[in-house]
Chain A
């Protein structure tokens, strides 16, 4: 087990290093940062001065190593647009995105577990079809379109929920639903398939033959086993939700990392852009690492691989 964890940890570190290099070089090689900082119509002397002060005239590899070292020691630079320290800017927005990610995940599980279980118990019935319909629509509908439908319904027509902002928990309701619905179909399929497989297993037949009430058989015996692969998927889906938060947070002007990413991209705020790409990627690497370890712990067969 320890060997497995160390191997995965090594891979995670390598990936994080590769991501940092990509985040750095991608944004550096595709445009002249000095020109971008100086703005339109800047004189050549000004651009040269910026190049000098920011150390942009050194070899790119040296700049990368320097940037990596400073990033690791917590100095994330200064935002070109917001004119503030990137570290404090990002840390202020991170909780909003993490809360949104978690609430969406919980929302997705809240609709997909009951529906997946019911669809499995009553396979090929109308309940199964309704669940399938909800999953199919969730997969086909662009999440920004769904978000706008929610706005139209709950903000404009019914006036129940605020359109944008992040001041109260009410502001999280629509983003959570829009983002969570998008993650639900994958869970629903997995739970339905898992439940169908588990329900036909011998120990379930034994439990039924013993005369246990059906509810107890389904929830205590079957669901517990069908839910194991969901743990791994949940970690991966949470990572996808962080990516999806860019679109959803922007629509609802929810002041998190996703919205910050959009703002930094539209304002060509390179230091912020780099850090957001790096941070979201590292969060994903950590999540998959946690999922791998949890999986190996739950299923010893994986540890050998």
Chain B
């Protein structure tokens, strides 16, 4: 009986979803951002098909070939080759995989930690809330890049260590946003109804609270993914992130630094790729936030 009572409000929710969808599609910036993001995802997935060469293959007879728009460029290597003779277009395409993998994995780890903390603190309040505030304040006071650099320097650096370190550091915004969203939701009627129906606390949190704050979760996830990608690029740029020969865009910029005087395009291409990817994620995230809370638009 309680089952039907609880599932009754489902019907109007469906049309709510449809309304949301219509609002989303009405936003040009959001649609453009998502489209651009899908393009990056397609590139990452199809890199082996799209890339004209093996991104790791060094060809010492074709080193420092400039891109096609230079006089000395040729179409065998449309975006030229790096100082080791590796095809730059292929490396750039494979680089999308690293950035997206970083963004997604870091958000999964930090999202799990932060959302759990935020849900517990927002739902129970009191001491648990105080503990969370303390943990978040402590975490925020330590610069991510500095702590990540220090840990990576000690533990050693690899793609997975970078993911793990960033994931364990970047839960603060999830915790803060999920906490306030939970606080708003927990006093609403349907939570009280579930409590009255005798649902367990776990079930209320996972079944009633979490689905209703999920849109906020997605917005934070986009922001954090963008920030994680930039942090990985910065770590790799400093030589303490993803290690060669992996084609991380940040690492490619670092490797090209010595050649910036003659071939600035070696820096400009991965730099632009990073900027456009972050731009796409931010656009999608901002658009989503506007759709969810139109009144909070800035």
Residues of chain A at the chain B interface (Cβ within 8 Å) = 11, 14-16, 18-19, 22-23, 26-27, 30-31, 136-137, 139-145, 148-149, 151-152, 156, 189-190, 192-193, 239-240, 242-244, 246-247, 250, 261-262, 265-266, 268, 273, 276-277, 280-282, 284-285, 288
Contacts and interface: CB of A to CB of B under 8 A. Distances in A.
Nearest to A141: B275
A268 B279 contact: no
B250 interface: yes
11 contacts: A15-B137, A18-B138, A22-B142, A26-B151, A136-B279, A139-B282, A140-B282, A141-B278, A144-B234, A243-B143, A246-B146
Interface centre among A18, A189, A268 (most CB of B within 10 A): A18
B92 to A, nearest CB: 14
A141 B276 CA distance: 8
B151 A30 contact: yes
* Interface SS, B side: helix
Nearest to B281: A140
Nearest to A282: B141
Contact of A247 (B145, B153, B298): B145
B279 A277 contact: no
Contacts, number: 132
A189 B298 contact: yes
A19 B154 contact: no
Nearest to B235: A247
B37 interface: no
B141 A246 contact: no
A19 B260 CA distance: 39
Interface centre among A19, A148, A156, A284 (most CB of B within 10 A): A148
A148 to B, nearest CB: 6
A288 B237 contact: no
Contacts of B274: 142, 145
Nearest to A287: B141
A86 B238 CA distance: 23
Interface in B154-188: 154-155
A154 to B, nearest CB: 13
A281 B146 CA distance: 10
Interface size class of B (residues with CB under 8 A): 35 or more
A244 B138 contact: no
Interface of B: 134, 137-138, 140-147, 149-151, 153-155, 230, 233-234, 237-240, 250, 253, 257, 260-261, 264, 267-268, 271, 274-276, 278-279, 282-283, 298
A16 B140 CA distance: 11
Contact of B276 (A140, A268, A282): A140
A134 B286 CA distance: 16
Contacts of B146: 243, 246, 261, 276-277, 280
Contacts of B233: 142, 144
Given A139-B278, A141-B275, A148-B271, A11 B134 contact: yes
Given A243-B145, A247-B238, A22 B138 contact: yes
Interface centre among A142, A143, A268 (most CB of B within 10 A): A142
Contacts of B147: 26, 277
A285 B233 CA distance: 27
Nearest to B136: A15
Given A137-B279, A140-B276, 19 more contacts: A11-B137, A16-B141, A19-B138, A19-B141, A27-B150, A30-B151, A142-B237, A142-B278, A144-B233, A144-B250, A192-B298, A246-B149, A247-B237, A261-B149, A262-B238, A265-B150, A265-B240, A280-B143, A281-B142
B141 A26 contact: no
Contacts of A139: 278-279, 282
A85 to B, nearest CB: 21
A145 B271 contact: yes
Contacts of A142: 230, 233-234, 237, 250, 271, 274-275, 278
Contacts of A152: 260, 264, 267
Contacts of A242: 143
B145 A244 contact: yes
B153 A136 contact: no
B164 to A, nearest CB: 13
A14 B134 contact: yes
Contacts of A22: 138, 142
A135 to B, nearest CB: 10
Contacts of A15: 134, 137-138, 141
Nearest to A270: B154
Contacts of B268: 149
Contacts of B283: 136
A193 B260 contact: no
Nearest to B261: A156
Contacts of A18: 134, 138
A144 B257 CA distance: 11
Q: List the 9 closest pairs (A to B, CB-CB), nearest first.
A: A243-B143, A145-B271, A193-B298, A140-B279, A140-B278, A30-B154, A265-B153, A18-B138, A284-B141
B219 to A, nearest CB: 15
B234 A247 contact: yes
A193 B295 CA distance: 12
A295 to B, nearest CB: 15
Contacts of A268: 153-154
A141 B253 CA distance: 13
A156 B262 CA distance: 10
Given A136-B282, A148-B267, A285-B141, A277 B150 contact: yes
Contacts of B150: 26-27, 265, 273, 277
